Amino acid sequence: MKHSLAILLVSLFLIGTSCKTGVTVQSEEGSRAEKMLAQMTLDEKIGQMSQLDIGYFRDPEQLKNAVREGRCGSLLNFIGAEQVNAIQKIAVEESRLGIPLIIGRDVIHGYRTVFPIPLGMAASWNPEAVKKAYRIAATEASSQGIKWTFAPMIDITWDPRWGRIAEGCGEDPYLASAMAAAMVKGIQGDSLTDPTSLAACAKHYVGYGFTEGGRDYNTTYITEPVLRNVVLKPFKAAKDAGVLTFMSAFNDLNGVPTSANEFTLKQILRNEWKFDGFVVSDWGSVVELISHGYAVDERDAAAKAINAGVDMEMASTSYFDNIKILLEENKITQAQIDEAVLNILTVKYRLGLFDNPYINTEAEKILLDPAFLEHSRTVARESAVLLKNDSKTLPLKTEISSVAVIGPLADAPRDQLGTWCFDGRPENSVTPLKAIRELLGEKKVNYVSGLRYSRDKSTAQFNAAIAAAKKSDAIIFFAGEEWILSGEGQSRAEIDIPGVQSELLAELAKTGKPLITVIMAGRPLAIGEELGISDAVLYAWHGGTMAGPALADLIFGKESPSGKLPVTFVKGPGQIPYYYYHNNTGRPATTQSWTHIDSISVENPQSSLGYKSFWLDYGYTPLLPFGFGLSYTTFEYSDLSLSAVSMNKTGSITVKATVANTGEMDGVEVVQLYVRDRVGSITRPVKELKGFRRINILRGETAVVEFTIDAADLAFFNGKETLTEAGQFDVWVGTNSDEGLHGEFIVE
Ligand code: NOJ
């Protein structure tokens, strides 16, 4: 009794005080971690800083010994409730201090119930639905012993060539921040100690999506204003949502690899943001400092990563092999080691791992729960974006007498799961073909895949596909990319629809039958021609386990599409990078000032093209703007009003607009708010998203949508400081980044 009172008093004393390492211990978990740290040997501390992949171990005995001896604090890719319990038992009962392991795995867009790729989820503009998707993913993953996942991936990118665009939330910092917060909250749940809560990991910190040329792992150069105003925004949102861990990235940033970058890891993450979780490296990114030409050998690499504040090394063993000698050589300090271990232990305490280290082996029965599948279907439906719908081609009536279902993605159960999906199973996928057959009955569906897979260049099935189209009332062509064409290490220089899919589509168009193209891909493809020859186009990304029923719901009008593009769609790779919040330039082009390459006469004088900022062949606009997406119904915007014409730097203004559903169906509209800061101390974007609302408006009804703009929302980093500047602002409320009702206000 006396003893526990003493512990309580010590704990209370430690809360809110500084420990000897200089880290401020602010929580009960922190003080428990501090006490544990005081008992640890250097070897045990090094063990906590090491995460090993299961493939590292030659045999189970080697693994058990490593855990028993406290040589690794975390395992990667070791799953299964019983297995995890068995190895955890060794950690808890047979290691000297009984420190539990934390088991990590990538659960990027669902575990067994797979949701659309994150880029698709971002297209739903529905953070609540996304949060629920990640809650489901965490619930399923936790039943397998996973306690930490390397999600959310929140790298902003302007480059659809980059394969990992699929894993992120697109180009916009505001939308990506909303998604980042939702994902973290979904993964970590309401209480960190809940058995279904996992630690989330904000990755890849930072700038990885700005990889030169869209080639994965490539160098990045990002100015500090772009870093702070764009790239860091979703990471800050994840931090504010309570994310427990960050992952340092593979890329070098302005000459310094991000896994050894003191500016981003120490200055920004720890000093400015006060992040108190821990940082894990990406897979081998510590030893890759050598290939970057930033470290001479593994010892040097370990020193540089530790000095920058990477607490745990993933997969490689440079920490394990070198920390002792680095301490002897005074290349790192004991305080740095203690701080890293304290960060890691505090997270383990916060997750309740010490008090409740084991998995309920019954929990895995919830995999693929019908409610989970239903939500996967909902999110897949909400993520699909209607890009074209001439002559109300869609929705089709279920009474239609026959449809031709054609294309390599119509019945591709693995492809629809998308990239970076280890635990989803193709046999659980419901494909579009299956869903349409179920809805209409087998007899009404004339199916010919036409191509065996997306890159197939054989025209052998073209005639059969054309024949199927001719005998049907409408054609639904499922085009796109196989899952393997996007994701890590899977960048493309061309971003067209691969193989001879477009050729087949052109043949089908010649039949004159209503042609509906559904694109299932891991990136925004350059689809100008396909968009031109199709009557209707639905962009469905890789939609996950329930992509088929979700698409059937939309195609046959059970619901109207409501997704909006989370990235600008370019006309071709020559327009990359293109993002809607670009600066204006000194010579912005206009419709009048653009000269098309084919209209230039041979005798043209030097100055006649006007010297404006455009491409002779592409013009100056993209194929489709950020935020674009149609519905089966129509929405009309009117009555924009502002609560004031000006505000001071601590004030706010309310913006209202009326949105009427003027079409023939109920529908959801994503109402978007953009602003422009007309003149700044550095040049400012032509538009920036500052708010959005997803609202359901019944047919014939009207909604008044209200946004509040705080002056603080207009702040930006100008190279020296972050501030809201006085001056004139434009505001738009509209259906995408290119259209909207316009107003103005002043910040004084
Ligand atoms: C490398 C990837 O970049 C990262 O996103 C992932 O979490 C790790 N491998 C672990 O699989």
Average of pLDDT values for 194-207? Answer: 98
**Is residue 6 over pLDDT 70?**
no
Q: Which pLDDT tens digit goes with each residue over 690-736?
A: 999 999 999 999 999 999 999 999 999 999 999 999 999 999 999 99
Tokens found for residue 713: 């929302």
Which residues on neighbouring strands pair with residue 205, listed in sequence order? 248
Active site residue 617: no
Q: Is 207 left (phi over 0), alpha (psi -120 to 50) or beta?
A: left
Q: Which two tokens stand for residue 317?
A: 């063993």
* Of 155, 159, 282, 300, catalytic: 282
For 556-615, what is each residue's pLDDT tens digit? 999 999 999 999 999 999 999 999 999 999 999 998 888 899 999 898 888 778 899 999
Token pair 């501030």 is at which residue? Answer: 723
Alpha helices (H) in 143-272, listed in sequence order? 173-188, 224-226, 233-240, 262
Residue partners of 311: CB distance under 8 A and separation at least 6: 49, 278, 279, 280, 339, 340, 341, 343, 344
Q: Express as a percent the part of the chain with pLDDT over 90.
A: 94
pLDDT computed for residue 604 by the predictor:
86
| CA–centroid distance, residue 391 to ligand 1 (Å) | 45
Q: What is the pLDDT of residues 94-107, one digit of tens each?
A: 999 999 999 999 99
From the list 701, 636, 621, 637, the residue with the least C-alpha distance to 666 is: 701
Which residue's CA lies nearest to atom 8 of ligand 1? 283
Q: What local confidence, expressed as pLDDT, does residue 605 receive?
A: 84
Residue range 311-324, pLDDT digits in tens: 999 999 999 999 99
Q: How many angstroms separate the CA atoms of 425 and 609, rounded?
A: 55
Higher pLDDT, 521 or 363: 521
Ligand 1 environment, Cβ below 6 A:
106, 150, 203, 282-283, 488
Which is nearest to 567 in space by CA: 162, 69, 58?
162
Which amino acid makes up residue 723? L
DSSP code, position 688:
E
User: Ligand 1 test: best mutation among 105, 148, 150, 316, most atoms within 8 Å of CB?
Assistant: 150
Round to whole Å and give the CA distance between 148 and 315.
15
CA pair distance 157, 171, nearest whole angstrom? 5
Ligand 1 atom 4 nearest Cα = 282
Q: Are strands 727-736 and 667-677 parallel, antiparallel or unpaired?
A: antiparallel
Tracing tokens 């891909």 back to the chain, one arrives at: 521
Write out pLDDT tens, residues 435-458: 999 999 999 999 999 999 999 999
Confidence of residue 210 (pLDDT cuts 50, 70, 90): very high
Query: Residue 96 in contact with residue 44, Cβ under 8 Å?
Result: yes
Identify whether the C-beta of residue 645 lies closer than 8 Å to the C-beta of residue 746.
yes
| Ligand 1, atom nearest to 204 Cα | 5
What is the per-residue pLDDT for 713?
Answer: 98
CB of 316 closer than 8 Å to CB of 56: no
CA dihedral 268, 274, 275, 277 (to 10 degrees): 140
pLDDT tens track for 377-417: 999 999 999 999 999 999 999 999 999 999 999 999 999 99
Q: How far is the CA of 282 from the centre of ligand 1 (A)?
A: 6
The answer to whether the Cα torsion of 128, 129, 130, 133 is positive or negative is: positive
Residue nearest (by alpha carbon) to ligand 1 atom 9? 283
Residue 2 has pLDDT above 70, yes or no: no
Q: Whose CA is nearest to atom 11 of ligand 1?
A: 106
What size, in residues, is the chain?
748
The packing angle between helices 501-509 and 462-470, to 10°, is: 30
More confident site: 535 or 16: 535
In this structure, what are the phi and psi dihedrals at residue 336, rounded to the nearest 5 degrees? -65, -45
Whether 40 and 13 have beta carbons less than 8 Å apart is answered as no
Nearest to 621 by CA among 582, 563, 586: 582
- Residue burial 240-266, b: 16+ Cβ < 10 Å; e: rest: ebebbbbbbbbbbbbebbbbbbeebbe
Backbone angles phi, psi at 228, to 5 degrees: -80, -35
Query: How remote is the CA of residue 205 from the centroid of ligand 1, in Å?
Result: 12
Residue with tokens 């899977």: 490
CA of 486 to the centre of ligand 1 (A): 14
| Pairwise CA distance, residues 138 & 141, whole Å | 5
* Nearest protein Cα to ligand 1, atom 7: 150
Q: How far apart are CA 9 and CA 4, in angstroms?
A: 9
Residue 224 has pLDDT above 90, yes or no: yes
What pLDDT sits at residue 354?
98
Helix axes 370-383, 547-555, angle to 10 degrees: 50
Cα–Cα distance for residue pair 525/509, rounded to 1 Å: 20
Give the pLDDT of residue 25: 47
SS3 state at 290? helix
Residue in this structure with the two tokens 């939309």, named with its chain if needed = 554
Which pLDDT value is given to residue 1?
A: 35
Query: So what's the pLDDT on residue 12?
Result: 35
Residue whose entry in the numeric block shows the structure tokens 């179920």: 438
* Cβ burial, residue 554 (10 Å; 0-12/13-18/19+): buried
Where do the DSSP E strands lie in 649-687? 652-661, 667-677
In the predicted model, what is the mean pLDDT of the chain?
Answer: 95
What confidence tens digit (pLDDT) does each residue in 137-194 have?
Answer: 999 999 999 999 999 999 999 999 999 999 999 999 999 999 999 999 999 999 999 9
Smallest CA-to-CA distance from 597 within 576, 628, 626, 618 is with: 618
Residue 26 banded pLDDT, cuts 50, 70, 90: low
Residue 735 burial (CB count, 10 A): 22
pLDDT of residue 610: 86
Using CA atoms of 505, 509, 515, 520 in order, give the dihedral in degrees to the nearest 10: 10
The C-alpha atoms of residue 332 and residue 303 are separated, in whole angstroms, by 6
